[in-house]
Amino acid sequence: MKQFIRFMVSPAGRSTRVAGGIVLIVAGFLVGGVVGVIIALVGLVPLIAGSVDVCVFAPPLGYPFSGSRARSIVAPH
């Protein structure tokens, strides 16, 4: 799991989350209706998390919510 968190808090992981959030938001608009709104709202989570450098997956796995703090723990020495 350490490698997963290492990726998620890396610049590539942040970019992946932002891109995934954008894809979900666009998909939500394309789907439309209530389901589309739900998909778009779900897409806001990775978009915002990647943008502000937090990782929602980290705390359940025992790492800090802050991306910079998690990086300091999982970064290879």
Residue 58 lies in a domain: yes
> How confident is the model over 3-48, as pLDDT tens digits?
898 999 999 999 999 999 999 999 999 999 999 999 999 999 999 9
Contact between residue 20 and residue 49 where contact means Cβ atoms under 8 Å apart: no
Q: Is residue 12 part of a domain?
A: no
Residue span of the structural domain in which 45 resides: 17-74
- Residue 75 pLDDT class (50, 70, 90 cuts): confident
User: What are the beta bridge partners of residue 54?
Assistant: 66
Token pair for 9: 């808090």
pTM for the complete prediction? 0.85
Count the domains in the chain.
Answer: 1
- Tell me if 64 is assigned to some domain: yes
What tens digit of pLDDT does each residue of 48-73 get? Answer: 999 999 999 899 999 999 999 998 88
| Dihedral in degrees, nearest 10, Cα atoms 17, 18, 19, 25 | 110
